[in-house]
Amino acid sequence: MAPKIKIPATKYPVERFTLGNGLRVVLSPDRSAPVVGVAVVYDVGIRSEPEGRTGFAHLFEHLMFQGSENLEKLAHFRHVQGAGGSFNGSTHLDYTDYFEVLPTGGLERALFLEADRMRGPRLTEENLRNQVDVVKEEIRVNVLNRPYGGFPWLKLPPVMFGTFANAHDGYGSFEDLESATVEDAQGFFDRYYACGNAVLSVAGDFDVAEATAMIERHFGDVPARPAPQLPDFDEPDLSGERRESYTDRIAPLPAVAAGWRVPDPIGTFEDYLPYVVLAEVLTDGDASRLVERLVQRDRTATTLGGYIGFMGDEYLVRNPTALLLQAHMPPGGDADKVLRTIDEELDRLAADGLKPGELDRTQARMATRSLHGTDDVLGRAQPMAVLELQRGRPGLLNDLPKLISEVREEQIVAAAATLRPERRASVEVIPGASS
């Protein structure tokens, strides 16, 4: 038998410090290319939204781009793009991030812009109403008027979970969005957008001493506010199978998604990691078990995917989360048959173990993707910020390729054995589009 390939950890440097106002900072210098990535991550996401304010975390992300006390609306866009850079923000289950990529000379500009809006965005009735309309249009485009919109990331959580934090629609209802007030927005900012609830990360071409001085100059006098107490979002696992279906009026073909709870990705990372690898063993590539069986042999599915986390960020999520499998089916496809076949393949894996070379191939592909993802400066700055925020361990990004390669066959087999039908939540899409 060929020796197992050893995949080493990467060696991106990591330096950490905390400003007097509580802002945590992560620096990862790399002088190989004249570019820098800046990310600011706040410890607030979809799960933190109060009842009656669904979609508020995402709405507030939009408001953070609408100017500040010092800068007019669209100034952030103009200053970043004028320096040859790009920018964006995104809302996740457990965090919201803002980021820029610029040529080296634009670092101080990015730091000024992020510190400026950390002091306070321009929260006006006009900005609020405008961005409510923008978010509503996003929902129309991405969910209501798109085939399989919200499948499965919006459709499966209310089947799997019972608490509002885990089950509600993270995009938000029109009613909740329209009833939001400037006072709500200001309260959200005051509670969650505190220095002590954020991490600033910089990766790329910079001198550490110079960057540290810039950070202290721009962020050091941002008023200190403590982080709010982090809620415990955990809830009991399923005690029986849950299944729902809905009609998608514009979906051309049927589809089904299934999810199983997995161990705490932070508290029990060693137990969690085999499930990340298992999802890839089952679905990654034409030679994977479920693609080979469902798509190529049985032809009961046309496409198949598997991953951890409802938003696909398996290393940047808190408990509870899930392993998801989703399949699109041909006309007249049978969701029951697809789920039964998945059960059969999981049973076979649990009983017979892996085929020769199956785990090595999967781990090599996963490690390659991990290494490719950290090639660019933002691929380091953004995850390092979240890893610091959630774990106090930004250097975990370096360790992931090696840790993936060290998952053993018996761990994969044991993980597969836990994915039982009685622990499964599933949702089926019934097509409403005419053929």
Token pair of 35 as six digits: 């570019």
- Using an 8 Å Cβ cutoff, are 402 and 9 in contact? yes
Strand order across the beta sheet in which 24-29 lies: 15-18, 24-29, 198-204, 35-42, 96-103, 86-91
Listed as ranges, residues in the chain with pLDDT below 50 are 1, 435
393-429: burial string, b at 16+ Cβ within 10 Å, e else: ebbbbbebbebbbebeeebbbebbebbebebbbbbbb
DSSP state of 293: I
What integer pLDDT is reported at residue 435 of this predicted model? Answer: 45
Residue indicated by tokens 């085999």? 274
CA dist., res. 220 & res. 22, Å (int): 9
What integer pLDDT is reported at residue 6 of this predicted model? Answer: 77
Q: β-strand 424-431 against 242-248: which pairing, if any?
A: parallel
What integer pLDDT is reported at residue 69 of this predicted model? Answer: 84
DSSP labels, 223-250: PP-PPPPPP----PPPSS-EEEEEEETT
Token pair of 105 as six digits: 């000379």
What integer pLDDT is reported at residue 3 of this predicted model? Answer: 54
Distance of CA 62 to the CA centre of its chain: 18
What integer pLDDT is reported at residue 312 of this predicted model? Answer: 85
pTM of the complete model: 0.96
What integer pLDDT is reported at residue 188 of this predicted model? Answer: 97
Domains in the chain: ranges and CATH: 15-219 (3.30.830.10), 242-431 (3.30.830.10)
- Using an 8 Å Cβ cutoff, are 113 and 331 in contact? no
DSSP state of 294: I
